[in-house]
Amino acid sequence: MTTEAEKLTQLRLAVEVARRELIEAEAELADRRTDIAAFEYEYEAKVGVLLFQLEQVEADLQDYLDRIKERRNEKIFGTAYSSVEDQFRKTWRTSTMAEPPKKKIPVNQDTEAQIKKLYRQLARRYHPDLASDDAARAYRTEMMTAVNDAYAARSLAELMILAKELEERGQMEAGAGGTAVDMIKALEEELTRCQRRLRQIDLEMQNLYTHPLVELSTEVKFGKQQGRDILAEMAAELERKIARKTVERDMIKSQFDNLNSGNQSIR
């Protein structure tokens, strides 16, 4: 029969192993999220902005086409007639028009590398699931939020401040003593919590593989191995589309301006 002392020893070992596995799993998850965020930043800078420009040009083109149609209807019906279909399309386009991508503060490669490295370190140390009690969990949750905000803002200074606070605070979360029964219960609960979180992380990692940008990121990596820059190719194609649509828009705008001035009629 296992004694309480033997059970305590076994549980302490099991918890130590589970915590090490959890720390590594949390770090791997943080790394994966960081990689996706970094690729998203690159994608928005090279492709996202051009996508928005294309949407804007297409919206302008459709607007001029709609206004020309309204002028034609005025001549036919004597009023600014608009079909239900036209009204719906205009309303839908206005309500679903994409917001311009938020401009992020550009950083050089060295600073970006520092930010990424420091973020990973802090994510490993501050993660709420590594807390030993509710008070520590609340503190870690607050600090992890600050870490994520600083990373999103690409603020190396803020991350360094958070790292300094962590260093000053130290790892002072050792639990207080108690009876053997109390310690066994606490260790069993901690082991269960670590195992549950490990299962959650495994599920989160699987879900990350379905992230919309992951497949593109993989394609970009393979492209680099073949000497191709997939994002640059996408950007070049978008620039060609924007140029074509801009010419088309300008032609339609010219027709609309002439129609308005009465110099040309639209058949």
Tokens representing residue 78 in the block: 């004597």
Domain layout of the chain by residue ranges: 4-97+184-261
Residue 93: what pLDDT? 52
pTM listed for this prediction: 0.54
Residue 172: what pLDDT? 41
pLDDT digits (tens, 9 = 90+) for 247-258: 999 999 998 888
Q: How distant is the alpha carbon of residue 107 from its chain centre?
A: 18
| 80 Cβ neighbours under 8 A, 6+ residues apart | 70, 73, 74
Residue 173: what pLDDT? 43
| Residue 173: Cβ-neighbour burial (10 angstroms; 0-12, 13-18, 19+) | middle
**Is residue 32 within 8 Å of 80, Cβ to Cβ?**
no
Please give, one letter per residue, the 3-state secondary structure of 106-127. Answer: CCCHHHHHHHHHHHHHHHHHHC
pLDDT digits (tens, 9 = 90+) for 127-180: 777 666 777 777 778 888 888 888 877 787 788 888 877 776 654 444 445 577
Residue 62: what pLDDT? 92
Residue 134: what pLDDT? 73
Residue 87: what pLDDT? 54
Tokens representing residue 172 in the block: 């002072």
Residue 149: what pLDDT? 82
Ranges in the chain, pLDDT < 50: 95-98, 101-103, 105, 171-176, 263-267
Residue 75: what pLDDT? 75
